[in-house]
Amino acid sequence: MAKMEVKTSLLDNMIGVGDMVLLEPLDEDSFINNLKKRYDHNEVYTYIGSVVISINPYRSLPIYTPEKVEEYRNRNFYELSPHIFALSDEAYRSLRDQDKDQCILITGESGAGKTEASKLVMSYVAAVCGKGAEVNQVKEQLLQSNPVLEAFGNAKTVRNDNSSRFGKYMDIEFDFKGDPLGGVISNYLLEKSRVVKQPRGERNFHIFYQILSGASEDFLCKLKLERDFSRYNYLGLDSAKVNGVDDAANFRTVRNAMQIVGFMDHETQSVFEVVAAVLKLGNIEFKPESRVNGLDESKIKDKNELKEICELTGIDQSVLERAFSFRTVEAKQEKVSTTLNVAQAYYARDALAKNLYSRLFSWLVTRINESIKAQTKVRKKVMGVLDIYGFEIFEDNSFEQFIINYCNEKLQQIFIELTLKEEQEEYIREGIEWTHIEYFNNAIICDLIENNQTGILAMLDEECLRPGTVTDDTFLEKLNQVCATHQHFESRMSKCSRFLNDTSLPHSCFRIQHYAGKVMYQVEGFVDKNNDLLYRDLSQAMWKASHSLIKALFPEGNPAKINLKRPPTAGSQFKASVATLMKNLQTKNPNYIRCIKPNDKKAPHIFNDALVCHQIRYLGLLENVRVRRAGYAFRQAYEPCLERYKMLCKQTWPHWRGPARAGVEVLFNELEIPEEEFSFGRSKIFIRNPRTLFKLEDLRKQRLEDLATLIEKIYRGWKCRTRFLLMKKSQIVIASWYRRYAQQKKYQKIKSSAIIVQSYIRGWKARKLLRELKHQKRCNEAATIIAAYWHGTQVRREYRKFFRANAGRKIYEFTLQRLMQKYFLEMKNKMPSLSPIDKNWPARPYLFLDSTHKELKRIFHLWRCKKYRDQFTDQQKLIYEEKLEASELFKDKKALYPASVGQPFQGAYLEISKNPKYKKLKDAVDEKIIIAEVVNKINRANGKATSRIFLLTKNNVLLADQKSGNIKSEVPLGDVTKVSMSSQNDGFFAVHLKEGSGAAGKGDFLLSSDHLIEMATKLYRTTLSQTKQKLNIEISDEFLVQFRQDKVCVKFIQGSQKNGNIPTCKRKNNRLLEVAVP
C-alpha cells in the first residue's frame, strides 16, 4: 500500500475497545460493558489479540457483502475494524504464502452462532481463492455439504432453532496456488438419543419434518408416509412448526445440495427410505403376553407398521418380528435365546432406531467425503474448520453433557498451550526476553476424566464390562471410592466429609469442578448410554435386508463374521476421536473464534449481562486476556507504527528518510516514554502497558487537531487569495466584454439607421421608375389597339364581298372547333385513375358529343386494362385464368362462390414433398401434384365422414389414407364424367365415374371439402387440358349418385344444426341421403 493511502486502523473511530488486550481497567465488569457497548452499536466482533469474539446479533447485518470481502482481502489483521473476515483472510494468506497448515476453532454454546460462523469462514475463503470451472465445482461441493449435514444433524432446541447436534471438523485441502482441491469431514458424537425422545419445546432432526412438509404426495406414498406430524410417535408436536422456518423449501434445498455434492438418484432414494423406516419404527407398540412357563414376553400390537417397514427395507417380516421379541446370547459354542418383556422390547426398538439413524449419518459423512476429497495426490496445504458444541451446563446434565464438557476441557487445554506457545515463539522471533506466565492449567481435570486407570471414563468402561449386576448406582459407588480425594470431584457419598451435608448435591449425582465452573451430573443413564447396546438379533435382521444401504450399515450382522468380542463403548470411542482431533490440531497453526449468545430469547438488541458473564467465564476469555497481557499488551510493526505517530516528532514529520526502526526510536526518545514501558524487537515495537498506547493515541489526537487547524488556516488563506485573484481576473474579463458589448450595440444602432434611410431612398426611386414604366406601357397598348382597329378596318374593306357569302359556315366550323378543343382539354384534366375497377368517368358536356364520349370511355378502359395485364407474371396470369374460369362456372349458381373470390388458389395445402409423414405417398406418385387437400369421404351406409387425402395430377385423381399414406383409389381423368354439387353454402360434391370403367367398381365418390370451388375449377381445367372435353359441372340441390349397383339420391335441405355452421349428412333410407345445410 502506498504511504499516502489512507488506512483505517483498529484504533480509529473505536466504539469501546476493539482489542480486549487494551482494556483498562481489566476486570469482568469492564469486559462485559465493553462488549455491550459495541453490541449496541452493531459491532458484533471484538479481538483478544488474534482471537475473535463473535456475539450473535440474531438478525442480518450488512457486513458480509462482496464489497466487505474485497475490503478485508489481503489486509493486515489489525488494519481494519474487528471482523471474522480479517481472521479468515489472515489464516488463508498464512496457508497460501507461508505454507503453514491452519485450523480455525469455533466454540461456544448452542445458539451462539457457531454454524453461521463456520459458513462465513468457508464463504470468505471460497470468494478470495482462485477461479475456474473445476475450482468452482470444488467450492460449490464444499459449500453445499453444509445443507445436507444440517438437515440430518441439526435440530430445533429451546436455545437455537438450528442447533448442531454433532461436532464437525472439516479439513479443506488447497494446492500450492491456494486453490481448493477438496476436503475431508469428521463428525463427533451425534446426539442420537434425540431420534427417540426430545425435551419439551424441542424438535427431532430437521430431515423428518422436511420430508413430511416438502415431499410430493407420490414420493410420500413410495415412502409409505403421511403428511400429518401427529401420526408419528418420534416427532414432538409442541414445536413441530418453527416461525421463520420453511421446511418444504429446505427439503428442496437439501435435495438440490445432495445432487450437487454427487449423490446418485438411487442413493438419495435409499437415504430417504432409511429415514422413513426410522420414523415408522416409533409407531411400533408392544403388548405383554404370558407364556406357559410363567415368563413374560411381548407381542406387537398392530403389525401393519411392521409390514410397511419390512416392505421399505426388504426384510422378512417374521425375522424382524422375532428380533423384537427374542434375544440370543452366544458364549463360546452355546446359544441361549430369551424372551423380551415389553420394556425390553421398547428398549430394543429405540436402540435400533438410534443405531440406524446414527449409522446413516456416518454413512452420509463418508459418502460426502468420497465426493469432495481431493482427486490429485500432490502435496496439499490444509485448513481445518472445527465447529463443535460448547460447554453445557443444564438443570439436568447426563452422559452427553459429560463427554461434551470433556471435549471442551481438551479444547481449552490446547487453546492455552497453543496461545502460550504462539506468544513465546513471537518473543523469541523478535528477540524479546520471555518471562514465565502464571495461568490455570486444566490438565488435572482432563486427567480426572481420561486417565487410563483412575479416570471416570475408564471406570465407566470397567463397570460396563464386568460380569454381574451393573447399575448406575454401582458406577457411582466406584467413583466415590477412587475419586473421593480428587480436588475437582465432589459427591455426597464419597469419603470426603465436607460434602456429606451439602444439600445442593443429591445422592444420585456427582459434581466436577471444570475450568468453566462446577457442573452436577445425574448418574442415571450413564451405563446404558455408554454401552450403546444393540442386540445381535437386530443387527443380523438388518444385515438380511435386501435394501443395499441398510445391509451395508450393519456389517457385524453377517453370520460369517460373527465377533463375540464386545464392541467398544461410546465413551472410549469418543475419547479416541478427541485424542485424534487434538493430535491433528497440534500440527496446525490455530485461529480462534469464540461465539457468545447475548440472550435466551433469540431476539436482537437484547444483551443479558448475567448470561454473557457465564459464557465469558466458561470460555476463559479473561484468562486469555491476562495471558496475552502478561508480557507486552500491544505490539506493532515499525512501519505502520511510524506512519501512525510520526506527526508527534518534528524530526519524523512529515517524512522520515531513514529505517523505520530508527524513526520509532527517535520518536519515543522525543516523547520521553520510560524505557521499561516498551521494548524494540527485530521487526516490531512492543508496548507493555495499554496506558502508554492510549497516551500515544491522546497525543496523536491532539496533534491531529492542531494539524487540522493549521491545514484549515492555510487552506482558508489559499482559498481567499484564489477567490480574490479569480474575482480580479473576472472583473477584467467582464469590463472587456461590456465595452465590446457597448460598441456592438452602438454599431448596430448606426447600421440600423443607415439601412432605414437607404430603404426609403430605394423605395422612392422604385416608385418613380414604376410610374414611368406604367405610363410607357399604357402608351404602347394604346398604339397597339389603334393599329389593330386600323388593320381590321382595312381587312374588312378588302374581304367584305367574300365574308358575306360564307359567314355562317365559317362561324359554325370555328365554334365547333373551339368547343371540341375545350372538350379535349377538359377531358385531359379530368381523366380517372388507371385502376380497371374504377368506374368513374367525367360527365358529358354537350349532347352532340354523346357517341364520341362513350367511345372514348370504352377505348380508355381497354387501354388501362391492357396496361394492368402487362404487369402480370405467367403465374399470376394462370391464377386469374383459374379465377375467371371459376367465375364462369359458379357465379350466381353456387352460394359458396362469393366467399372463395378473395381466397388465393394454393393447390398444395399439405406440402407432401416437405412433410416426412407423407414420404411413402410422395414416392408412390410420380406426376406433378396439382392439388393436395384433406377431404371427407361420405360413407354410403350411414352418412359418416372419413378423412382422405385428395390428390389431383395431370392424368389421375387419387384418394389416400390420411394416417398411413396408402393409396385407396386411383381414377384416370378420362373416367370422370361429371361433378355434381348443390347451389347452397356447403362443401359437398360428387365425382361421377364412367360406367364400366375399372375405377367405377365401388361407384361414385361423395366428398366434402373446405376448398370446393378451387378443387372443382382445377379438376375442370385439368380434364379439359388432358381430354380436350369439357367436364360437366351439375349444380342442383338434388342429384343421383351411383353406389356399386344402387343409385342413391342426395338431397340438400335447410335446417338449424346442433354442430353450428357445419353441414351434416344422414342416411334416411336405402335410396336417400339427406344433407342438412345451415
The catalytic residues are 110-111, 115, 160, 163-164, 390, 392
Q: Are strands 334-339 and 45-48 parallel, antiparallel or unpaired?
A: unpaired
Number of H helices, E strands in the chain: 30, 31
Among candidate residues 14, 57, 62, the one with its CA nearest the CA of residue 607: 57
Nine-digit cell at 96? 497460501
> Cα(first)–Cα(last) distance of the chain, in Å?
91
Give the CA distances from residue 444 to residues 398, 450, 1072, in Å, rounded to whole numbers and listed in that order: 22, 10, 115
Amino acid in the structure at residue 384:
G
Please give the grid coordinates belonging to residue 9: 486502523
DSSP 3-state of 54: strand
Distances, alpha carbon 971 to alpha carbons 71, 953, 993, in Å: 87, 10, 8
Contact 986, 1010 (CB under 8 A): no
Q: What is the DSSP string of 534-551?
A: --HHHHHHHHT-S-HHHH
| The residue to which cell 370422370 is assigned | 976
Beta-ladder partners of 1073: 1050, 1067
Residue 874: CB atoms within 10 Å: 7
Closest-CA residue to 660 (of 1, 140, 3): 3
d(C-alpha 418, C-alpha 104), whole Å: 13
Assess whether the previous peptide bond of 25 is cis (omega < 30° from 0).
Answer: yes
Residue type, 1014: E
Rounded Cα distance, 443 and 622, in Å: 19
Distance CA 153, CA 191 (A): 8
For residue 563, the 8-state DSSP code is: -
Question: Rounded to whole angstroms, how far apart are CA atoms 866 and 255?
Answer: 78
What does the DSSP 8-state code read for residue 88?
H
The cell numbers describing 924, all together, are 408412390
| CA 46/CA 82 separation, integer angstroms | 6
Q: H or E stretch including 174? A: strand 167-174
DSSP lists the bridge partners of residue 1006 as 990
Give the contacts of 580 (CB within 8 A, at least 6 positions apart).
Answer: none
DSSP string covering 333-387: TEEEEEE--HHHHHHHHHHHHHHHHHHHHHHHHHHHHHHHS-S--S--EEEEEEE
